[in-house]
Amino acid sequence: MPKGKIIKALSGFYYVKDGDKIIQCRGRGNFRNRNITPLVGDNVQYEAEKITDGRIMSIDERRNYLNRPPIANVDQAVLLFSISEPDFDDSLLDRFLVHVESYEIKPIICITKSDLMIEAISNKIQDLTKTYQTIGYRVYITSSLEDDGIDRFREALEGCISVFAGQSGVGKSSLLNTLNKELNIDTNAISKSLGRGKHTTRHVELLPVGTGFVADTPGFSSLQFAKIEAQELSLYFPEMKERSNQCKFRGCTHLVEPGCAIQEAVKRGEISQSRYKHYKLFYEEINQRKRRY
């Protein structure tokens, strides 16, 4: 039985890529009774007498999957933030990083619009880049307009399923068009009045980039910590996770306890003040959610 990968889901149809062919399929009849829903990114077995009338017969075991956007077997999440228009938001970046870490998916940070770099923000971007690289994150700085940093960034996508996500208006579509000139994805200019772009993505689809695939996602708009408990939050800050067993008290919240290795590392400059500030904000947000419900 032939095998392929679902690269698009739209209106009850699943588009399965098998080599150079793309077969339009529906799910097997008993999938609904068994509560099985094929996802973009699934590796499947299918039957098809013609390319417009296939049927997915089975789905291979998934390595992971996201609910929103609904996509399976993700290798890495590329978090896109711009230098300007809209301004770089490190609090939102840390929020994205926590969510991606909670799914045990490898994050990559891509800072776009380097052509808008001016001296006033250059030092800030350099300091932020150094902070995240020290933690262990890969950081790429790109410009779709000037084709700057594109080749190096493209290499990071080879052979992987990558989810693109991030602040609206940072140039996701422009970057994808630069990575693969054949895509011709619709782009909209940033709204000056709102300080954000108008997102044009309507469905989840894997787009070819070299030997890899990229999902330009309409989801991730809700970044509430609905499924993350306060006591596990530090696990999603790698620089805290690696030091947490050095704290004096088991179950340390890293907020007020004496002998806290995290607070000491912040004082020594080993953990970023801004990252620690965001940790405290997120911790309080999670607690407030629990008090409401």
Binding-site residue set for Zn(2+): 247, 252, 254, 260
Residue ranges at the known binding site: 112-115, 166-174, 247, 252, 254, 260
Token pair recorded at residue 12 = 């009850």
Q: Is 233 exposed, middle or buried (0-12, 13-18, 19+ CB in 10 A)?
A: buried
Q: Which of 75, 17, 1, 7 is nearest to 39 (CA)?
A: 7
Task: Work out the number of other CB atoms within 10 angstroms of the CB of residue 172.
Answer: 28
DSSP symbol at 156: T
Token pair recorded at residue 285 = 């947000």
Q: Which of 236, 256, 262, 238 is nearest to 100 (CA)?
A: 236
User: Sign of torsion, CA 264 269 272 277?
Assistant: positive
Tally the C-alpha atoms within 13 A of residue 270's C-alpha that lie toward its C-beta.
Answer: 11
Token pair recorded at residue 44 = 């499947």
Q: Which residues lie closer than 8 Å to 229 by C-beta, 6 or more apart?
A: 286
Residue ranges at the known binding site for GTP: 112-115, 166-174
Q: Is 288 helix (H, G, I), strand (E, B) or coil?
A: helix
3-state secondary structure 245-293: HHCCCCCCCCCCCCCCHHHHHHHCCCCCHHHHHHHHHHHHHHHHHHHHC
Q: Which residues lie closer than 8 Å to 172 by C-beta, 6 or more apart?
A: 80, 164, 166, 216
